Amino acid sequence: MKNMTLLNDMIDRYNALAYTHEYIFGFAYKGVVYMAHVDNCLLPQLLKLDKASRGAGMALRFCPTNDVKVYMLQYAEPLCSTALFNDMVSESKYNKGEIFEKLVTEAYGQEWKKDNVPFTEDGDLTVHGIAYQLKYEKATFTNEKSLMKMENRG
């Protein structure tokens, strides 16, 4: 019960700081990489708490179980095969999250470039005037230490 309270508290604090509340989540399921469009109402079902690195408390992460992936299929569309995705990652200097961002951006006819714009200032992609944060499996949203710093409490 304590973990659910902390999870919901961290999600609420993240939402209070976030530029956008729209997301495109990526996940691999049965040989296909999907992109699922969801809003922040689903974050409590999709995110989990995990220990953050370097003494930063707990972290909010997108680490979907098989059951969560099956649930997310109702919001998802295929992006590419996992074989193509894994080949792109292995042949690139970019990680899975960055390759996912690139593929989604290009799927919307836009040119991708790596950036480090904070989630408090903009989304990763804007489509038809809607800003989206893009997250692939095992992505970290934030941690307790970062939230406290952004809230000027730490």
pLDDT tens digit sequence for 61-98: 999 999 999 999 999 999 999 999 999 999 999 999 99
Q: How far apart are the first and last CA of the chain?
A: 26
Q: 133 with 42: CB under 8 angstroms?
A: no
Long-range contacts of 50-58 (CB under 8 A, 24+ apart): 52/140, 52/143, 52/144, 52/145, 55/145, 56/143, 56/144, 56/145, 56/146, 57/143, 57/144, 57/145, 58/6, 58/10, 58/143, 58/144
Number of H helices, E strands in the chain: 6, 8
pLDDT at residue 153, as a whole number: 58
> Tell me, what's the pLDDT at 121?
95
- Tell me how far apart the alpha carbons of residues 34 and 100 are, in angstroms, rounded to a whole number: 10
pTM exceeds cut of 0.75: yes
